[in-house]
Structure 1
Amino acid sequence: MEDIGELAAQLREFAAERDWEQFHTPKNLAMALAGEVGELVAEFQWLTPEQSRTVATDPEASPRIRGELADVFLYLTRLADLLDVDLLQAADDKLQENSKRYTPETYRGSSRKAPPLA
């Protein structure tokens, strides 16, 4: 797979072949996405911070984490496609916004939240 656009097209075809477009409303996809994020979070729930950093090398947990990450990515991609949102552009825009809100001089080493941009 070359890019997110290609993945979105494959997901569109996947849904069409199964007549699932009727179920793929923004609401349903957002709810499914939230459910998958919950499943991903559950994989980390009782880990220590140190354990969470090494989960990718755990032969038992790694495939589950990978699968949950894929589920999140697939639902997010499908939702963005349905809403005609270019995820890469949206991510770039958000990163640019965050770079203005969270300047290194003010926020280096801090976890505090920045006030909204005016």
Structure 2
Amino acid sequence: MNKDLIQKVLKFRNERNWEQFHNPKDLAISLSLEASELLENFQWKTNEEAIEENSENIKDELADVLIYSILLAEKLDLNIEDIIENKLEKNSQKYSVEKAFNSKKKYTDL
């Protein structure tokens, strides 16, 4: 992940003295709430309708989800690149190309 972007997020937080409110529990709750707000854009709509009608709001809510993810990773002293690469490796074991290609099944059903 771009280190400059992470630093911008942290600078924004620090300039407002918000770190005092950012414990892992509350950041995880905020992340979930923002993900729910992202989902609201798609409720009762087709993909096409949601994107056409709510494109800007979808971008804003997705940005909030990503920002809270950055803040939570920072608070837990986790390297975003490392944890993503680790998860991709785990997923590659669960979802081998041979078994998972062109399938939407969960790895336990492959």
Q: What TM-score do you get using the length of structure 2 for normalisation?
A: 0.85
Quote the offset at 1:106 in angstroms.
1.8
1:80 paired to 2:73: yes
Give a deviation string over 1:32-90, Cα, whole Å, max 9, x none.
Answer: 11000000011112122xxx15744x2x4110111111111111111111111111221
93, 97, 109: which is aligned to 1:104?
97
Aligned residues: 108
How many percent of aligned residue pairs carry the same amino acid? 39
Q: Which has the higher helix share?
A: 2
Counterparts of 1:1-118 in structure 2, within 5 Å, are: 3=2, 5-48=3-46, 52-53=47-48, 55-56=50-51, 58=52, 60-115=53-108
Report if aligned partners of 2:27, 2:68 keep a CA contact under 8 Å in 1: yes
User: Structure 2: any 5+ residue segments left out of the alignment?
Assistant: none
Q: What TM-score do you get using the length of structure 1 for normalisation?
A: 0.80
